[in-house]
Amino acid sequence: MSNIGLIISLIVIAIGLLWLFILSLRGKEVERRIIFLFIGLSVSVPLLFNITFSEKATPIVMDVFNKVENLPAGSKILLSYDYGPSMAPEVEPMSNAFLRHALAKGHRVYVMCLWATGQSLAATAIDSVVKKDFPDKVYGVDYINIGFKAGGTGVLNVIITDFRKMYLTDVDGRDLDSLPIFNGIRSLKDMDLLISIGGGYPGVKEWILFAGSQGNIPTAGGCAAVSAPLLYPYYPKQMVGLLGGIKGAAEYESQLKKVYKRFEKSPTPGIKMMGPQTLAHLIVMAFIVIGNISYFVSKRKRS
């Protein structure tokens, strides 16, 4: 039944595009709301009919995966939630995948944020991922959330030399010195891997420039698609790897499922988003073609 619905929906979209193509050949302009409608349909149909595609991790994603995978158990990984709700659908799948992977490997995870809005999202991630998938992990021993501090790059400038000059307590006001996970941790230089998940300022770039390169600490990132092209130049010399947009998240989720059978039934929002992405991109490409035809037809008519 769902397949019939899917086929009918795709036929409706295809007929609609054909109609717009004919209109453009006649030199008529397409109203912008029609484009919005098509994009809405192209995203809704795969969502409603659960269309997904298989993903294979590319080298830049594999490098991050392998870095987390090859660190000895008990290594210290810092996850920075540098995003807000406006970016969450795109980068939350990455942060959840990183959390799952790091804890499954037995690493210690330090969660912090350079964005105030990241604090509540980090708390949500801990509730939905750590407490659900890893009930045996102990707060303050296996993972910790030290929350947000104002200052952006200023925060990085301080914690690269001394955490306690900026962070005296965790997000709930517990003294850091009373928590075993912080024993022997003085600065960012004591971390084995830094992972920033974001897409704005401060974000992955600032972590590379102010922490990773400055302290020779391996740094990886997961970012919103808009920022990905600006971050690729830092790979591979200044950055271990990068998850660029939802595609990167889907690749990481796919690799995680492949290697860890325990995550086979875990949610994979990144992979699920790739169906709507594919159809929406095809529609955008179709509109680019239609727009160009319309342009050349009208140009010919004018001449």
Partner 1 sequence: MADSKRISKIILAAVIAFFLISWIIKGLAIHDEDSVLWFSVRDAFLITLAAFLTLAIFSFLYKDNPYYKFAENLFVGVSAAYWMCVGFWSTIIGNMLPNLSESLSSTFGVPYKGFNIFYIVPLILGILLLMRLSSKAGWISRWALAWIVGTTAGLNLVRYLRTDFISQVSNTFVPLLVDWKGFGAFYSGLSLASTGQFVMTLSNWVIFIGVFSGLIYFFFSKEHKGFFGVASKVGIWVLMITFGASFGYTVMGRVSLLVGRLTYLFKDWLGLIS
Which residue ranges make up the site for partner 1 (CB under 8 A)?
Answer: 33, 36, 39-40, 43-44, 47-48, 50, 58-59, 86-90, 116-117, 119, 147-151, 153-154, 157, 166, 168-169, 173, 175, 199, 208-210, 213-214, 224-226, 228-229, 233-234, 237-238, 244-247, 269, 273, 276-277, 280-281, 284
Count the residues in the chain.
303
| Angle 58-59-60 from CA coordinates, rounded to 5° | 95
Nearer to partner 1, 29 or 31 (CB): 31
Nearer to partner 1, 22 or 116 (CB): 116
Nearer to partner 1, 7 or 47 (CB): 47
CA distance 175 to 219: 27
- Could you tell me if 24 and 294 are in contact, meaning their C-beta atoms sit under 8 angstroms apart? yes
Tokens representing 47 are 């969502």
Nearer to partner 1, 237 or 300 (CB): 237
CA distance 198 to 295: 38
> Who's near 232: CB < 8 A, 6+ residues apart?
60, 242, 244
Least Å distance, CB 50 to partner 1, is 7
At residue 130, the 3 state secondary structure works out as: helix
Nearer to partner 1, 102 or 166 (CB): 166
Least Å distance, CB 89 to partner 1, is 2
Helix axis angle, 59-70 relative to 245-259, nearest 10°? 50
Least Å distance, CB 219 to partner 1, is 11
Strands 219-223, 193-198: pairing is parallel
Return the bridge partners of 144, or none: 110
- Could you tell me if 175 and 169 are in contact, meaning their C-beta atoms sit under 8 angstroms apart? yes
Least Å distance, CB 2 to partner 1, is 11
Nearer to partner 1, 10 or 280 (CB): 280
Least Å distance, CB 276 to partner 1, is 5
Least Å distance, CB 28 to partner 1, is 21
